[in-house]
Amino acid sequence: MSKGLTAVSFTQVRFSDKFWAQKQKINKDVTLNICLEKCEKTGRITNFEKAAGLIEGDYEGIFYNDSDVYKVIEGIAYSLMNHPDPELEKKADIIIEKIAAAQQDDGYLSSYFILTAPYKKWTDMDKHEMYCGGHLMEAAIAYKKATGKKLFFDVACRLADHYVSLFGPGRRHWVPGHEEIELALIKLYHETEEKNYLDLARFLLDERGHGHGKGGRWDKGDDKSYYQDEIPVREMVKVSGHAVRAMYLYSGIADVAAISEDAEYRSVLEQLWENVALRNMYITGGIGPSKYNEGFTTDFDLPNETAYCETCASVGMVYWNHRMNLMSGDSKYADILERVLYNGVISGVSLQGDRFFYDNPMESDGTSHRQEWYDCSCCPTQISRIIPSIGDYMYAVDNHRIWVNLYAESNAEINLRNGSVKIEKITNYPWDGKVSVRVFPTVKEDLELFLRIPGWCKSISASINHQAIESLEFEKGYLKIKHNWKSGDEIILNLDMPVETVRSINKVKENTGKAAIQRGPLVYCFEETDNRRNFDQLRLCQNSQFVVENNNQDNITEIKVVDQKNKMTFKAVPYHFWDNRDPGRMKVWVEMEDSDESTFLYYTGSKLL
């Protein structure tokens, strides 16, 4: 069984477009600093000083607040790798010294328990001790790679060794109430080659569903499905419970499966993916319809106005589908990654980078707005770490083959088996489907390129050095091109990008008689601020005409919908763009009248049929 592909690190990718490059700049200049400021003002950072005995005072905030600090440091580390900033690095160094001072002699670290109830350590599986520890490990690995400094990394290893000393075969049973530690331990294993970390990750996965977990929660009763602890991992076929926890769990399973080549784990992941993508995912790639459990209910339960779609869950979808793509080389996973990235993830932060969505509804009565911060601030800090690492999802490699998964104007240096290749992409994606890929190899052998053909694209053309490729070869959703490349050779890929009218399958009762529109990877919505005169008359017709217009002021492409039958015109904007201007109502799904259903695409999750 193949071990799959290897992702090209974002440190080898530099964006030069007006889309991701701009978002990374705003993240560095605005979002990271806001997150640091809020963590300081809310006591998240001083909690470590108190735990270390450096200052006096009581613990402030929710018991898992340490994790927010770790995620911000991770975001800073990623940003530093491509955009050095001595002032930002100094801020992180100061915080890391406080964290290190708070670590206890045996390696334990949780400022909540150190300050409030040291005698209750490891007594409550839902108190996020390992969840916080996992985020510490991810941040520490990132910071070591960014700066070469080892203080934080040493803290992470001591903490992991503490976990290993307590839990595992012949020691204590444990089921983390909030998954995250599993994928963090695998990252630490890759960094250190310490097999104990891999073994502990596998142990924690296989502990689920055997009655070792507490299973209860203060307001959820004895709902073990909330924690994905109802049945063993190897028997899972259907997504359940808290959406973010599920995504972290599946990412951890994928990481272990990639190392161990565990066919049973892979089969479980494929069944779970089918269940999520085809029955439990919104058109934006968002998941988790219920506010009650921040997660899943029943198949095809996808309400619009009450859609929860937590931003963290969308980021989790990116993590999981990225891993599935690397294991399989199948573009369907990258299709979902792209969908959720351009819609469900970046909707979580304002264009200015200073306000955030926790939940992301498909419809709003005008009362849904981004906030400056949340008591539970997992989503702002989650955004702060994924934006600077977007380049991780662009390319994958295997010996002398390169997979191109995402399209954005950028330069990349990619190392292969017998040399390296520089790739320059020139494009106005996602606003335009024309992509120029220029190849500058040092590899002497034939190089195979696999260019993802997105699931939304129904027609393509391609050329090399302006000579059309007459016979197109496809493999798992990729255009396969094998060529004896010379420096400067250019592929032109044209991805047809019309406006598409989309319907849900009939089982999604909420969308009966409704349709949505998308163009390329972007789902569009209708805001009241653009349609104040006729928002209540919003509808699509069979003869609706779509006019694509560039809005240079906001750097977006808008869609004008002309309803010739009713003599009305509406304007739609990308979903991720909404609630950045005047407040008002919003809809993704709108009424559809006079439709011949055979003329529309049907949305089932991962596929447009």
User: What confidence score (pLDDT) does residue 188 get?
Assistant: 98
Q: Are 365 and 319 in contact (CB under 8 A)?
A: no
Write out pLDDT tens, residues 165-209: 999 999 999 999 999 999 999 999 999 999 999 999 999 999 999
Residue 159, pLDDT > 80, answer yes
In Å, how far are 27, 44, 70, 315, 381 from 35, measured between CA atoms?
A: 10, 11, 11, 17, 7
Residue 52, pLDDT > 80, answer yes
Model confidence at 81, pLDDT cuts 50, 70, 90, reads very high
User: What confidence score (pLDDT) does residue 609 get?
Assistant: 45
What is the third-level CATH fold of 396-454+459-495? Immunoglobulin-like (2.60.40)
Least confident of 98-107, 407-416, 560-569: 560-569
Buried/exposed 423-443: b ≥16 CB within 10 Å, e otherwise: bbbbbbbbbbbebebbbbbeb
Buried/exposed 448-464: b ≥16 CB within 10 Å, e otherwise: bbbbbbbbbbeebebeb
Between CA 216 and CA 192 the distance in angstroms is: 36
Residue 20, pLDDT > 90, answer yes
Percent of all residues in the chain with a pLDDT value above 70, rounded to a whole number: 95
Model confidence at 595, pLDDT cuts 50, 70, 90, reads low
Peptide bond into 430 cis (omega under 30): yes
What's the pTM value of the predicted model, to 2 decimals? 0.96
Beta bridge partners of 425: 410, 437
Task: Tell which wins on pLDDT, 488 or 596.
Answer: 488
Least confident of 88-102, 257-271, 441-455: 441-455
Between CA 609 and CA 598 the distance in angstroms is: 11
Per-residue pLDDT, averaged over 594-605, amounts to: 59
User: What confidence score (pLDDT) does residue 554 get?
Assistant: 86
Using DSSP's 3-state secondary structure scheme, residue 474 falls into strand
The domain ranges of the chain are 42-219, 396-454+459-495, 499-603
What tokens does 103 get?
Answer: 């670590």
Between CA 388 and CA 336 the distance in angstroms is: 20
What tokens does 291 get?
Answer: 């506010």
Q: Are 600 and 515 in contact (CB under 8 A)?
A: yes
User: What confidence score (pLDDT) does residue 604 get?
Assistant: 60
Per-residue pLDDT, averaged over 118-127, amounts to: 94
User: What confidence score (pLDDT) does residue 443 get?
Assistant: 75
User: What confidence score (pLDDT) does residue 606 get?
Assistant: 45
Model confidence at 214, pLDDT cuts 50, 70, 90, reads low
Which residue in 489, 488, 514 sits closest to 502, CA to CA? 514
User: What confidence score (pLDDT) does residue 553 get?
Assistant: 86
- Catalytic residue list: 294, 378
User: What confidence score (pLDDT) does residue 1 get?
Assistant: 40
User: What confidence score (pLDDT) does residue 211 get?
Assistant: 82
Write out pLDDT tens, residues 305-350: 999 999 999 999 999 999 999 999 999 999 999 999 999 999 999 9
Per-residue pLDDT, averaged over 11-36, amounts to: 97
Residue 261, pLDDT > 90, answer no
**Alpha carbon 560 to chain centroid, angstroms:** 30
